[in-house]
């Protein structure tokens, strides 16, 4: 029989994944639909090449897929833990890159906001993963055990 605390932790993890999906969609949708405007908002510079814009749109397309992955994982976070872990690693790497700066210039306020927001979600996701992990659970990769 599962404990009430365990049920609450799973429910909280589900809500967190829904919030993570919404957060991720807030960047992915505008970035995918209007990459030129999004590029300018995030970098402070215009995209001077159609190739850059297509690559940028592709990156937001991948981000959109992770948003969908978070939403799907919200139905059963323990079953989809690897997708969640990979998404958290992606958020961590993105935030690290923004905080270090890109192209030798300082990141824009929007980019900093996104990076700090992603770091907050990484901390919350890792905490939720730890809180919902049970010993000997085959759904958890050995790396996370």
Please, are residues 118 and 124 in contact by the beta-carbon 8 Å criterion? no
Is residue 119 within 8 A of residue 92, CB to CB? The reply is yes
pLDDT of residue 30: 95
What pLDDT is recorded for position 72? 96
The pTM assigned to this predicted structure is: 0.85
103 Cα distance to chain centroid: 23
Classify 2 as helix, strand or coil. coil
Walking along the chain (145 residues) 10 residues at a time, the average pLDDT comes out as 73 96 96 94 87 93 95 93 94 90 75 94 95 63 49
Residue 145's pLDDT is: 46
Measured in degrees and rounded to the nearest 5, phi and psi for residue 34 equal -140, 75
Going by C-beta distance under 8 Å and a sequence separation of 6 or more, which residues neighbour residue 42? 31, 107, 108, 110, 111, 114
* pLDDT reported for residue 17: 97
């Amino acid at each position: 029989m599962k404990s009430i605390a365990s049920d609450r932790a799973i429910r909280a993890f589900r809500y967190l994944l829904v919030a993570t999906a919404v957060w991720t969609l807030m960047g992915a949708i505008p970035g995918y639909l209007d990459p030129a405007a999004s590029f300018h908002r995030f970098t402070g510079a215009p995209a001077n090449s159609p190739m850059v814009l297509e690559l940028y749109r592709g990156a937001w397309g991948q981000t959109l897929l992770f948003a969908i992955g978070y939403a799907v994982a919200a139905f059963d976070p323990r079953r989809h833990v690897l997708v969640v872990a990979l998404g958290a690693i992606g958020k961590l790497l993105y935030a690290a890159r923004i905080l270090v700066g890109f192209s030798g210039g300082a990141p824009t306020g929007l980019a900093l906001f996104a990076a700090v927001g992603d770091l907050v979600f990484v901390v919350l996701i890792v905490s939720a993963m730890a809180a919902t992990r049970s010993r000997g659970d085959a759904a958890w990769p050995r790396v996370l055990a």
